[in-house]
Amino acid sequence: MKKPYMGKILMVDLTGRTIEEEAPSEQVYEQYLSGVGLGAYILYNRVPAGADPLGPDNMLGFCSGLLTGTGSLFSGRWTLVGKSPLTGGWGDANCGGTFAPAIKRCGFDAVFFRGISSEPVYLYIKNGRATLEDAGDLWGRDAVETEEHLKERHGRKAAVAVIGQAGEKVSLIAGVCNDGGRIAARSGLGAVMGSKKLKAVVLDGVQRVGAHDPAEMKRLSRQCIKWVNFPLPLTSARVFARVGSFLRITPLAFPQDGLLYRSILKKWGTGGMNQASVEMGDAPVKNWDGSNRDFPPAKSKAISPAIVTDRQIVRYHCYSCPLGCGGICVSGGKYQRTHKPEYETVLALSSLCMNEDLDSIFYMNELLNRAGMDSISAGSAVAFAIECYEKGILTREDTDGLELRWGNTEAIVALIRKMIRREGIGDLLADGTRIAAGKIGRGSIEFAVQAGGQELPMHDGRNDPGFNAHYSLEPTPGRHTIGAYLYYEMFQLWKRVKDLPKPGMLYTKGDRYTVDADKISMVAACSKYMNLANAAGMCLFGLFVGATRTPMFEWLNAATGRQTTPEEYMEIGGRIQTLRQAFNVKHGVEPRDNFATARALGKPPQKEGANRGRSVDIEAFASGYWEQFGWDGATGKPTAETLGKLGIE
């Protein structure tokens, strides 16, 4: 019977230029699956405590998911792991495209790098044979150009992960790109790749991935496709924005079925929420200080999903995705084609900075993709700089003459360009807001909206406190792809996992802000589920369809041939979470230092808009959440007993 994993990993030492194969034990795959779990296992054991994230001791891993290539759907996410230079602790980021299956097709579950090369190099694997090649001619080129170049050299079928100028210049908000601008952006791991002088990883392989029961895998996939294509009428973008307004005005909260969100993703992509999010108070405005009143529909109509998708030529599907939330758009200007700007990018560059020019967003999106810079962090850094300028903390001299006012499109574009090139004030901001605020001083840290150094994404935790809990308490702080109350409702986990609370049919919004045992177990369940998903290589949007309709647990069983229950799988998720937290503790991160900036928690609460008067008591969440994983409730550190039980040394 075939296994869903290849059973081999590749270890590349860039200093000594040696390449070795290793075979992790069966037990590792059983306890941690693959993907982020395998990555955490390897890095926890091999990166020495206190290692410099940009030094030779840090490791960078490209991991494929356990379900990738087994005939399951939504399983095309690969995970980049390393010690984050941005947060100083555990770092991971995942990305779609075609890179995930390519790792396995080369015969490996993951490729790890350590050491630092003296010259720019790239790794090329052709049918299981790996070599380090000179990348001197590629250094300095942007990500899309480099990818094109490497595909011309090694064949169109090759999958390429690459850093742009931001990674080369070790900007701490750099990510790693593949497939022409899809990017594993968070945690600043592009800087680690840049510090290692590793320009790209090129994979070209044809190995086949097995599954214990391929027929069952296919049967489950067919079922899933039926749900993904389940017809559901959807209104126009204009009406949909008004639905957002309604959700703001009503005192009631409605648990949502993921099928609705699936329709939005199918029709418009993540950008479907652009306007509605601002309206309902989900999207932060004016560096988290403003509200929907500052960015009313008259302004936000510039980023209406209908206008964005008007430029779309064709929908973009990542590998094994029947949904296709991405899009290839006409960009105009210098670059012919661009990936459709995602929700996060659009909001970070529009409402957060009060920018109303969609053309500029398309342009900056392409610039950032090519440079390999995280658009969430970049947008946050711009908003931070504007607020500092408006408040007189930064002067015209500091900004190299840029008139950094809210909504000044020209200045925003110029600043983004400067950040990519690390010129003048751009150099200051290219390492994220926390470091920039540290250098500027004068109370500017108050305006740096981040958690543990990671800039917060475009979902307001004052609107859905679940977001704030995850922003503040995860081993990777400041992430919107792990959980929220909304996500929990869409995952419908209570239908598959015993003892999880079922949300009521209708409840008042105020209920969301009281922290009780049910809420804590909901938040913890999201964490466990997403760790499992990241180990399996699954996409969040696929899981939104619902745990009974996107059968991850069943796929895992059919792929491995085990009879593991959903409860046991959730335990695996908890184990990976604990290992990531243990990595943080080993490297001296105090979990309490990761709490989100006071402003984002609603301290003090806002005076107007959708989230007026709302604040989240993160302290009340913290101890309960940590105890769910067997960590110390006061410090957030895994107890010796828990580590012993999970077999973590």
Query: Pseudo-torsion of CA 25, 27, 28, 29, nearest 10°?
Result: 100
Residue 242 binds another protein (CB under 8 A): no
Residue from 47, 138, 321, 543 binding another protein (CB under 8 A): 321
- The label of the residue with tokens 């210049």 reads 169
* Residue 164 beta carbon to another protein: minimum distance, rounded to whole angstroms: 23
User: Which contacts of 215-221 are long-range, i.e. CB under 8 A and separated by 24 or more positions?
Assistant: 216/554, 216/558, 217/70, 217/71, 217/72, 217/555, 217/558, 217/559, 218/71, 220/72, 220/551, 220/554, 220/555, 220/558, 221/71, 221/72, 221/73
Least separation in angstroms between CB 319 and another protein: 5
Our finding on whether 336 is near another protein (CB under 8 A) is no
Toward another protein, which CB reaches closer, 56 or 322?
322
Nearest to 530 by CA among 549, 552, 515, 513: 552
Task: Rank residues 117 and 320 by Cβ distance to another protein and give the closer one.
Answer: 320
Span near another protein by CB under 8 A; candidates 307-315, 345-353, 377-385, 411-419: 307-315
Q: Does 297 bind another protein (CB under 8 A)?
A: no
Closest to another protein by CB, 96 or 574: 96
Does the protein bind another protein through residue 218 (CB under 8 A)?
yes
Residues 141-160, interacting with another protein (CB under 8 A): 155-157
Q: Which is nearer to another protein, 46 or 337 (CB)?
A: 337
Give the shortest CB-138-to-another protein separation in angstroms: 22
Residues contacting 198, CB < 8 A, separation 6+? 14, 60, 113, 117, 120, 121, 122, 123, 163
Which part of the chain contacts another protein (CB under 8 A), choosing from 223-231, 355-363, 382-390, 440-448? 223-231
How many residues sit in the footprint of another protein (CB under 8 A)? 36
* Contact call for residue 189 and another protein (CB under 8 A): no
C-alpha count within 13 angstroms, C-beta hemisphere, residue 375: 27
Spatial CA neighbour of 455 closest among 288, 634, 266, 628: 288
Place of tokens 């939504």: 74
Among 24, 71, 190, 591, binds another protein (CB under 8 A): 71
Nearer to another protein, 267 or 301 (CB): 267
Residue 498 interacts with another protein (CB under 8 A): yes or no = no
Residue 63 or 525: the one with the smaller Cβ distance to another protein is 63
Q: Which one-letter amino acid corresponds to residue 399?
A: T
Residue with tokens 């994230």: 53
In three-state form (DSSP H/G/I as H, E/B as E, the rest C), the secondary structure along 530-562 is HHHHHHHCCCHHHHHCCCCCCCHHHHHHHHHCC
Q: Is the dihedral of CA 54, 55, 57, 62 positive or negative?
A: positive
Options 184, 228, 582, 601; binder of another protein; rule CB under 8 A: 228
- How far apart are CB 69 and another protein at their closest, in Å? 8
Contacts of 493 (CB under 8 A, 6+ apart): 500, 525, 529, 547
Q: Can you tell me which of 87, 98, 338, 560 binds another protein, judged by CB under 8 A?
A: 98
Taking CB under 8 A as the rule, does residue 215 contact another protein? no
CA dist., res. 121 & res. 14, Å (int): 9
Q: Between residues 225 and 239, which has the closer beta carbon with respect to another protein? A: 225
Are residues 162 and 199 in contact, defined by beta-carbon separation less than 8 angstroms? yes
Instruction: Name the token pair of 410.
Output: 């020209």
Per rule CB under 8 A, is residue 233 in the interface with another protein? Answer: no
Nearest distance from residue 128's CB to another protein, in Å?
A: 6
- 221 near another protein, judged by CB under 8 A: yes
Interface residue with another protein, options 49, 215, 225, 517 (CB under 8 A): 225
β-pairing verdict for 159-162 and 198-204: antiparallel
Both tokens of 12, joined, read: 């590349």
Based on CB atoms, which residue is closest to another protein, 212 or 315? 315
Radius of gyration of the chain (CA): 23
Question: In terms of CB distance, is 6 or 93 closer to another protein?
Answer: 6
Q: Which is nearer to another protein, 159 or 589 (CB)?
A: 159
Cis omega (within 30 of 0) on the bond before 475? no
User: What is the nearest approach in angstroms of another protein to the Cβ of residue 311?
Assistant: 13
In the region spanning residues 41 to 70, those forming contacts with another protein, defined by CB under 8 A, are: 69
| Contact region with another protein (CB under 8 A), list: 59-67, 78-86, 120-128, 444-452 | 120-128
**Site for another protein (CB under 8 A): which residue of 54, 56, 207, 289?**
207
Q: Which of 3, 317, 421, 509 binds another protein (CB under 8 A)?
A: 317
> What distance lies between CA 73 and its chain's CA centroid?
19
State which of residues 260, 314, 517, 634 lies at the interface with another protein (CB under 8 A): 314
The H-assigned helical ranges of 229-313 are 237-249, 258-268, 274-280, 297-300, 305-310
Dig out the tokens for 585 from the structure.
């503790």
338 lies in the site for another protein, by CB under 8 A = no
Minimum CB distance to another protein smaller for 208 or for 498? 208
Interaction of residue 21 with another protein, rule CB under 8 A: no
Residue 347 Cβ vs another protein, minimum distance, rounded to whole Å: 23
- Describe the strand order of the beta sheet including 110-114 as a list of residue ranges: 18-22, 9-13, 110-114, 60-63, 78-83, 90-95
Q: Evaluate whether 65 touches 75 at the Cβ level (below 8 Å).
A: yes
Q: Site residues for another protein, window 73-92 (CB under 8 A)?
A: 73
Closest contact distance (angstroms) between CB of 221 and another protein is 4
Q: Are strands 121-126 and 129-134 parallel, antiparallel or unpaired?
A: antiparallel
Q: Could you give the C-alpha distances from 517 to 520, 556, 573, in angstroms and in order? A: 5, 29, 20
**In angstroms, what is the minimal distance from the CB of 139 to another protein?**
28
Site for another protein contains 232 (CB under 8 A): no
Q: Considering the rule CB under 8 A, would residue 551 count as an interface residue with another protein?
A: no
By CB under 8 A, residue 564 contacts another protein: no
Q: Is 324 in the site for another protein (CB under 8 A)?
A: yes
Contact predicate 564/556, CB 8 Å: yes
Q: Which of residues 122-141 bind another protein (CB under 8 A)?
A: 126-129
Does 542 contact another protein by CB under 8 A? no
Among 38, 60, 93, 318, binds another protein (CB under 8 A): 318
Instruction: Let me know if 289 is exposed, middle or buried by CB neighbors in 10 A (0-12, 13-18, 19+).
Output: middle
Distance CA 407, CA 404 (A): 9
Q: Does 623 bind another protein (CB under 8 A)?
A: no
Question: Based on CB atoms, which residue is closest to another protein, 157 or 293?
Answer: 157
CB of 317 to another protein, least distance (A): 5
Decide whether 161 or 425 has the Cβ nearer to another protein. Answer: 161
Tell whether the torsion through CA atoms of 24, 26, 27 and 28 is positive or negative. Answer: positive
What does the binding site for another protein look like in residue numbers (CB under 8 A)? Answer: 69, 71, 73, 98, 101, 105, 107, 126-129, 155-157, 206-208, 218, 221-222, 225, 228-229, 312-322, 324, 328
